[in-house]
Structure formats: C-alpha cells, structure tokens
Chains A and B, each alone.
Chain A
Amino acid sequence: MSKTYSISELEFKANEIRKSIITMLEEAGSGHSAGPLGLADIFAALYFDILKHDPKKPDWDERDILLLSNGHTVPVRYAAMAHAGYFDKKELMTLRKFGSRLQGHPERTKLPGLENTSGPLGSGLSQAAGMALAMRMNKDLHRWVYVVMGDGELNEGNIWEAAMLAGKYKLNNVIGIIDRNNIQIDGPTESVMPLEDLAAKWESFGWHVLEIDGNNIEAFIDACALARAIVEKPVMIIARTVPGKGVGFMEYDFHWHGAPPDHEQAKQALHDLRTLQGRIRSEHQ
C-alpha cells in the first residue's frame, strides 16, 4: 500500500476492525468471537503495513499471499479487507447470510482477495508450501507467503506433514503465524492436547522460531521484517494473543471461541472498544 501508517494509527485501525467484528457477529447471530478479536492487531498490521497488495487489483501477480488456515476466524479478515478498501464496509453486515460473498468460512471463489478456502483445519501450511515451491520454480524471489494458523489446529497431523516439507525444502519464502491464544473449543489447549514446548517442536522440524506478543503491532511488524531477512529457513512466528482482546468479558474465556455476542453483549463490547475498556471516556458517555 502506498500510504504508511504510524503504530498508533495502526492501533486505531485494529480497534476499528474489532468494532466491525462485533457488529458483524451480532448481526450474523452466529460465528466465532474470541479468535478474530485476538487477531485484529495482526490483521491491521498485515493489511495496512506488511503485505504488498492492492485492494483494487486483488489478483495482482506481484502481491504477497496471505492464507488463512483457521477459517473460522475469517470475520477479522473480512473486516480488515473492508477497511483496506477491498469492498464496502456495509457488506460486512451480510456475513453468514444467504447469497453473501462473506461465507461463514472463507471461500476463495466467492470473494476476490481471498487466497484459499478453509474451515476444516490443518491444510493452510501445506498450501503455503505449495505456493512457495511454485514461486521458487518461477524464480519469483520478491514475494512472500504468509499463513495464519490457530494453535488448536496444530493438533492436525496435516500441519506436521507440511512442517516437515517446508523444513526439508528450506522454504524461506513462507512465514507462518500461529495465533497462540491457548484456547480451543473444548477448553485450554494445554488440557485438550498439550502443544508445549511449541517453539522446540518447530525448531526441531527445521524452522526458525520467533515468539512475540501478538497484540503488539510494532513487535509483529518487526518480527515479519526479521522473518523476511532469514534466508536459510522457513520462519514461524508464535504470536501470543489474548483471545477476545479488547472486550473485557470475552478476554481469556474459551466459551467465546465459537459464540457471537447478543444485542446487549454487543453494546457492552462496543463500549469496551470505544473506551479501551474504561481507560478513556467514551464519546457517548
């Protein structure tokens, strides 16, 4: 994108994206809240700073690729895309409705700008590897494949098949991003199926691992810059995020993994976001 944003402007974008997520999910009446809210900072950073892309030319052949492997978090991508100018923000209110381009889980063929169809977990990293291999065959050295994964989805064997392959071929044009929010549907990840020592697992598969605060936009941008500079290995960014980030009663609570807010909850959530959870006065107070 031509315009560059300051960190505080990006933080403002992330908050706007969160408000859209709440409004969309309330209108839809179903969908996932915690993951999308937790990922808003990462998606604001991707769409307004990191990615080489053009909302007016979604199939621009020099664009960076952003794959969403954990498709249930797609409201954050839709919101970020709308705010970035891929389509009118009004369309966000069609999420999950009949005839909408914004399907409950993302479908590439429905909406320009989506790079993959996902929902069933564990396939995004393989697709990223395939795209990275194709770029290498094409001697296309100035593009990157970013792939956002959930932590719960790392239970899938397909992920580790892809991890081995990317390690084998040293796919340095793949940048993985794990949304390490420690929740999945049945509870905390470490009680459902322990993932730790997660960094050591990826390192042993031949990846360079960076661990950051995934709700810190500056840290994420820096991590991506470093990842692009590491040429000998693929890089996995373990982004520690707070599920439900920005909405007090949703934060850290796995029950919000797969639930939308009702009207009263949405009102409270938007209030939280406008006031940064009471730290500033709302314009409506």
Chain B
Amino acid sequence: MSDYHLVPNFDSKDAAKEPIRKGFGRGLLEAGKLNENVVAACADLTDSTQMSLFKNEFPDRFIEIGVAEQNLVTVGSGLAAMGKIPFVSSYAAFSPGRNWEQIRTTICLNDQPVKIVGSHAGVSVGPDGATHQMLEDIALMRVLPNMVVMAPGDSVEAEKATRALAKDSRPAYLRLAREATPIITTDKTPFEIGKAYVYAPGKDVTIIATGAMTYQALVAAHKLYVQGIDAEVVHCPTIKPLDNVTILNSVKKTGKVITVEEGQINGGLGGAVAELLSEEHPALLKRIGMRDRFGESGSPDELLEHFGLTAKHIMLAAHSLVD
C-alpha cells in the first residue's frame, strides 16, 4: 500500500471528506490555466457541477447552454472540431442520460474529443429520488466505440483525472458524485487513464471497485483481514479501456472476484469484468451494485445500506466466496 501513498487512517471517524465533484472543479481550473484551448459549457448547473471555478476565472471561455443537454454535447462537438478541448457538464441523469444519440454520432463516430462530465451519479444523490439517481451512465457510455469512461474514487483523483483528460485526444465520460466522499489518495498517488491500481494486496479474493465504492472496498478488506480473509483491492477508476492486465493478474492469483459500483451491474463495471473473465480467465464472480432496479428518496447512508452497497455487503460477498 505504501507505494501508492494513500491517506493513512482514511477510514477513521475524523478522516477528511470532500465531494468528488470538487476535485473536478479544481482540475478544470488548473487545466484551463495550462492550456488556453480548454473551454467549458454547462447546462444550468454551473455551481453544482463545480464548473463555476473555471467560469469565474475564464468567463470568455465558458458557455452557458441553459437546460438543453442535446445542445450541450453537440455544441461541444463543434468546439472540439475547431481545436478546443471542451468539458461539458450537467447531472449524469441528463447528460449522458438524455443525449446519447448526439454523443454517439457527433462525438464518438465523429471522433471529437469532448469531455462529458456527469455529476450527481449514483443512489447517493439521496433525497432527489430515482429520477436524479443516474445508474445507467456507465453502461450507456461504455458501449460506445472511441469513448473513455472514468469514475474517480475521491476528489484528489478527480482532479488528476480532469487534468489527464485535458491532455487526452479521445472523447471521454467522467462520472462524479455529489456527496462528501472520504479522501483516500494523496497528490503522490499515481494516476493514469486506463490503469487500475492494487491499493491493498491480498491472495484470497479480488475486490474490484470504482468511484466512491473503492473506499467501501478498502474498509471491507481491512475488516476481512482481521477475520482471516486476505482480500486484494483493485481500484479501477477507468472502466473503459479496462486495465485487463492488472485485473487478470490479480484474479489468476485469487481465483475469486467481487466487483463493486454505485450503478447498474448490467453493463457497468460488473458487466465489463464479467465479459473479461468469461473470455480470458473464468472465475467465481459476485457483482455488487444496483441489480436491475431504480433507486428512491432517502439519505445517502440509508440508500447505500438498503441497496447493499456498503463495506458490510462486500464482506458478506467475500465470505460467501471464500468460506
């Protein structure tokens, strides 16, 4: 673990938390300072998505689109066609929720490096309810040729991911969450698009997690160790392209796999890992995530507990595989 310079005691009660989207806001501002071709557009959610940092610094490079998500991404396509590096943001439920065909045709098939930023993904959006809890975004974006799909694990990583995307020539989807999320990585933690990282080495079972679920996976692994299960935690911030090598190396060692995500397992990270394993290295697999159903209103903690998305549920899955 020391190789990755993770936050010591990140799971203690007074550990620092911050919404993942805050890291995006800082990363975009930073990317904007480094490259004047970085531009931004938003669909009437500039503060919520944290694009306001960029807007305030570079008002002439920011476009307020209004509540029009189809226009958001197609304007992005036009900006990219002229050499800009556009970041376009809204809530994930609306973008890429509403504008999939425009993303497919004018960004992916048209090969324009637009960065689609979907904030407030997952059930942890909480009280807003099922309409606003985007769970299908990973599946929707992962199926598109040319598209990079990322779900950073904390705000520090989101900042790095944003800066990395600004230098990447591909279309990309960046998934962000609303709620304050424990900070598990530091500035020194390595990050590269397309790489998964073994944050906790183990030999009994591989836990592959993305987004804020990596925190839950690390907490689970820590407790499992005390209970006699040596779990390996693979943090997978890039869901596409999937880091097949890191995942397969781990599974070849453990032979048992749990995937963890805050979204539909169908077509999500769970789907991606299932596809990889069935072709390359069949292994026992349990997928933790939303199981073909919608969310509902509640507090984030209530909902994560209700839908089985906590460290406790990961531990139960590990026991069922290993015991």
| Interface residues on chain A, size class | 20 to 34
In B83-117, which residues have CB < 8 Å from any A CB? 83-84, 86, 101-102, 105-106, 109-111
Interface residues of A in 111-131 (CB under 8 A from B): 115-120, 122-123, 126-131
Contact B39 A128 (CB under 8 A): no
Evaluate contact between A164 and B68: CB separation under 8 angstroms.
yes
Indicate whether A133 reaches chain B with its CB closer than 8 angstroms. yes
The reply to whether B111 and A130 form a contact with Cβ atoms under 8 Å apart is: no
A81 and B83 CA atoms in complex are apart in Å by 24
Complex Cα spacing A119 to B105, Å: 8
Interfacial chain B residues near A165, Cβ < 8 Å: 63, 65-66, 68, 71, 75
Q: Does B288 contact A (CB under 8 A)?
A: no
Q: Are A123 and B74 neighbours in the complex by a CB distance under 8 Å?
A: yes
Known: A115-B81, A130-B79. A161 touches B71 (CB 8 A): yes
Tell me if B110 and A109 are in contact (CB < 8 A): yes
- The answer on a CB contact under 8 Å between B75 and A137 is no
A158 at the binding interface (Cβ < 8 Å): yes
Q: Within residues 42 to 77 of chain B, which ones have a CB less than 8 A from any CB in chain A? A: 60-61, 63, 65-66, 68, 70-71, 74-77
Q: Which of A120, A130, A137, A161 contacts B77 (CB 8 A)?
A: A130
A40 to B287, CA, bound (A): 57
Q: Give bound CA distance, A262 to B110, whole Å.
A: 32
B81 A130 Cβ-Cβ under 8 A: yes
Which residue on chain A has the smallest CB distance to residue B82? A134
- B78 beta carbon closer than 8 Å to chain A: yes
Give chain A residues whose Cβ lies under 8 Å from the Cβ of B61: 137
CB closest residue in chain B, given A158 = B70
Name the A residues within 8 Å of B86 (CB-CB).
130
For B66, B78, B83, which residue has the most chain A Cβ atoms within 10 angstroms?
B78
Q: Tell me the bound Cα distance from A169 to B66 in angstroms.
A: 12
Contact B70 A131 (CB under 8 A): no
Choose among B60, B74, B111 the residue that contacts A126 (Cβ–Cβ < 8 A).
B74
Which of B66, B74, B109 makes the CB contact (< 8 A) with A130?
B74
CA distance A169 to B78 in the complex (A): 15
Indicate whether A138 reaches chain B with its CB closer than 8 angstroms. yes
Q: How far is the CB of B61 from chain A (nearest CB, A)?
A: 6
Tell me whether A127 and B77 are in contact in the complex, defined as CB-CB below 8 angstroms, given that A116-B110, A117-B106, A137-B61 are known contacts.
Answer: yes
B79 in contact with A131 (CB, 8 Å): yes
CA distance A168 to B83 in the complex (A): 23
Contact B81 A126 (CB under 8 A): no
0/1 interface trace, chain A 133-175, chain B, CB 8 Å (1 if under): 1110110000000000000000001100110110011000000
Complex Cα spacing A18 to B219, Å: 69
A108 interface hit (Cβ, 8 Å): yes
Distance in Å from the Cβ of B201 to the closest Cβ of chain A? 43
Question: Is A107's beta carbon under 8 Å from chain B?
Answer: yes
| B82 touching A162, Cβ below 8 Å | no
When distances are taken between beta carbons in the complex, the residues of chain B under 8 Å from A126 are 70-71, 74-75, 77-78, 102, 106
B10 to chain A, nearest CB (A): 41
Contact (A128, B105) CB under 8 Å given A133-B63, A137-B60: no
- Would B105 and A161 count as touching, CB distance under 8 A? no
Are B83 and A130 in contact, with the CB atoms below 8 A?
no
CB distance from B100 to the nearest CB of A (A): 11
Chain A residues with CB below 8 A from B101, complex form:
120
Given contacts A126-B71, A165-B66, contact A134 B110 (CB under 8 A): no
Q: How far, in whole Å, are A253 and B192 apart by their CA atoms in the complex? A: 57
Q: Which of A108, A109, A137 contacts B39 (CB 8 A)?
A: A137
Residues of B within 8 A of A128 (CB): 78
Contacts of B105 in A (CB 8 A): 117-120, 123
A130 pairs with B60, CB closer than 8 A:
no
A108: chain B residues within 8 A (beta carbon):
110-111
CB<8 Å pairs between A and B, sample of 10 = A117-B110, A127-B106, A128-B78, A130-B77, A130-B86, A131-B81, A131-B82, A134-B81, A158-B70, A161-B71
Q: B residues touching A (Cβ–Cβ < 8 Å)?
A: 39, 60-61, 63, 65-66, 68, 70-71, 74-84, 86, 101-102, 105-106, 109-111
